[in-house]
Structure formats: C-alpha cells, structure tokens
Structure 1
Amino acid sequence: MGHFTMASLPIPKVIEIGETDSEFFAVSERVPGDTHLDQLNESEMLVLLPQLFDALYELQMQDLTSTEKVGLWRPEGTGRSWGDELLSIAEPRDRLAGWREKLDKFSREASIFDAGVLKLGKLVPHLPEVRGIVHNDLLNRNVLVSNKKLTGVFDWGNAFYGDPLYDHALFLYWWPWFPQWQGIDVEGIMDLHWVKRGGAPEQMKERLLSCLIHIGLDHIAYCAFRDRTVDMKRNADQVLLYL
C-alpha cells in the first residue's frame, strides 16, 4: 500500500517484515501525529471526515488493475465475485474456528444472523461489480491526525479488494458507538462529498445496505467467537435495524 501514498492519503512504506519465536512483526516508515481519528471531538471530526472521504476517493482513481477479482489480497488474480464474497460471511473461517457453534448458543442472535444472510442473498444479484481497495479498519486507531490534517493511514492488514463504499458503510455502522460525534450529520457529509463528485454512485443505497449488513454479521460472528456477549447482542440489534 505504500506504493499508493499521496499527499492527501499518506501511507508509510513497510521497510522490514519478519518473525520472532512466537510472533510476526512489520516495521514501517515513521509518520507524525498528535492523535488518532477515533479520538477526535465533534468540531475536529467535522474538519477531518471530509478530508478522509476525499482521500479515499483519490485512492480509487489510481491504477488498481493488478488483479481482477475481489477478496482479501489475492494478487494472483483469483477470487470470488463481490456478491459471493459478501455471502461467504456465513461460511466457516480458520481465524474464527467454531464461531457458528458459539453463536448457536444464543437463539435470538443466531436467528438475526441468518435473517441477515437471507437479506444479503436477495440484494447480491442486483449489485454492480465494483472493485477498489477497502481499508476496512479506519476506526481502530489506524489514522493519525495533526493540525487538522491527516498525517498517516496505516495497518492495511484487513484491507481487501471490493466495493469502496464499504469504508463509507463502516462509518455509518459504527457512528452510534461514538457518543462524542452524535451531533454530526455523517450522512449529510457523505451527501456533500458526492455532490462535489458530480452525484452519488450507481445503486448507492443498495450497495451501502449490503455493506452495512455484512459488517454487522461479521462482528456478530467475531464477538461470538471471542465470547463478547454484550457486543454480540448490540451488533445483532443493529443488524435488525437494516432488515
């Protein structure tokens, strides 16, 4: 990702990777920053969020044709369609071994999860095949800020090729979880962003809805796996709103 760095989206290059006896490591170039994006107050976020949306848009304007398929970093060009990638949320995952068995202990949350998968199944056939780079983790202390400007966007370990609106959906999904931002009209900021770009992308409503449901399902599964019952139930409640 360091190859895609630009003034509006500074991405430090990784200069060394390796393995210890029990862990892996990556060393990158140093980037400055006074705080993280998710620690900003309301007035600061009002300044930074439009910058970030503009930067993500500029990222998609770069040449991303090194692969043809979507998914979690498949540089050899193999992978699923975007719709199939979304629906794979219900499949077993090596990194979350046993998540479904744990989820099934909670009948309400399991039924909401299954209803979400069914809803995705109805949306997927009508979604356009749009391909870009998705960071997928911007609200987890991975964006540095200084003097009301983005100074570093790092930790692309959860990034994938897919619909770039997924990063927008992540802000919509997690917004209620940040009490300090509840006075901000995040949807209005997004609308203004697309006005500057000549109009909203095709089928934006359906694309965002599919991403929102997928995000919720992903975190229901993750929280079940991690035995984080309270967060699992909260994510299930949020998915229910989209159904």
Structure 2
Amino acid sequence: MALHAELVRYLDWCPEERCLLHGDFGFSNALTKVDRLSGILDWGLSLYGDPVYDVARMNFWAEAMPAGHIDWLSAFTEYRHTHNLPPFENLSLRLHCYELYHGLWHARYCALTNQPRGIGWALHKAEAAAVALRAATRSL
C-alpha cells in the first residue's frame, strides 16, 4: 500500500496530454525490413496516454527480454534529438512513475494468478522505481 500511495504522490509529474499508445510494444510486436521498422502488430492493449508510458513499459521489462537490457530511455531521447523533436518535460520522473505503476500492476497480476516469485520480482522493480523517484525529486 505504501508504494501505491507513493505512486499517487508522483502523478502530478505526469501530463494530461494524450496520444495513441501501443500498450504492449516489444520486439515480438515489431516487423522489420533490413534495418528499418516496417510495421507494428498486436494493438489489442492500445490506449491513449503519455508516450513515455510505452517507453517505461519497455524499460521495465528490458532485463527479462531475451535480447538483454536495452536502455530504452536513451534510445527514445536520441531518437527525439535526431529528428529535432522537443525533449519531454520531466522525462525521467515520468518514466520512473510509470515503471512504479508497471511494477505494482504486475505484482497484482502475479498475486491473482498465484505466482509468488513474480510478486517479489515486480515489487523489487517497483521499489527501484520509487527510489529513483525519491532521489530525483529531492534535487528539485
């Protein structure tokens, strides 16, 4: 419950603006042709929200993926810079807030499906996001 209360405290850092999100983006939903992305599949979990939400989800799951950890935040930042797109305000805070959300959501899912090891892993990830949020907001 303490992590949920912490999540609620940080929601003010997340913007109200909304755009189309995939909701479940990852390598298994991407089609490529040579070295370019050519399509995105499986929009069954799509939603409207902050685009940082999708990046946070990919970052949250990165270490569990077969390709190993990818620094999605740096890739996202570099992409926006390369294409002359403005940086996102409070990007790191938003990312960690959504990672905290993903950790709590997955812990709940594991509890409902009787996966105790998954609960511990998800809560560990959620706590890491909360620690990052505390550190980032202390300097503000």
TM over 0.5: yes
User: For 2:42 and 2:14, how far apart are their aligned partners in 1?
Assistant: 28
Q: Counterparts of 2:28 and 2:117 in 1: how far apart (Å)?
A: 22
Instruction: Verify: 1:229 aligned to 2:102, yes or no.
Output: no
Per-residue Cα deviation, 1:85-117 (whole angstroms, up to 9, x for no partner): xxxxxxxxxxxxxxxxxxxxxxxxxxxxx2221
Q: 1:1-243, aligned counterparts within 5 Å? A: 114-139=1-26, 141-178=28-65, 180-182=67-69, 184-196=70-82, 197-243=84-130
Secondary structure (helix, strand or coil) at the match of 2:37 reads strand
- Tell me the CA shift for residue 198 of structure 1: 4.0
Question: Percent of aligned positions with the same letter in both sequences?
Answer: 26
CA-atom RMSD in angstroms:
2.0
C-alpha deviation, 1:165, in angstroms: 1.1
TM-score, structure 1 normalization: 0.48
CA drift of 1:185 comes to 4.0
Larger Rg belongs to: 1
Instruction: Indicate if the aligned counterparts of 2:97 and 2:129 stay in contact, CA closer than 8 A.
Output: no
The separation in 1 between residues aligned to 2:118 and 2:45, in whole angstroms, is 20
Aligned length: 129
Offset from partner CA, 1:152-193 (integer Å, 9 cap, x none): 3122111111111111111211111125334x5443322212
- Structure richer in helix, relative to its length: 2
Q: Which amino acid aligns with 1:141?
A: S
2: CA distance, partners of 1:219 / 1:211: 12
Deviations 1:31-52 (A, max 9, x none): xxxxxxxxxxxxxxxxxxxxxx
Deviations along 1:186-222, one digit per CA (max 9) or x if unpaired, are: 4332221232234421121222122111111111111
Q: Distance in 1 between matches of 2:36 and 2:13?
A: 38
Query: Moved runs in structure 1, 4+ residues, more than 6 A?
Result: none
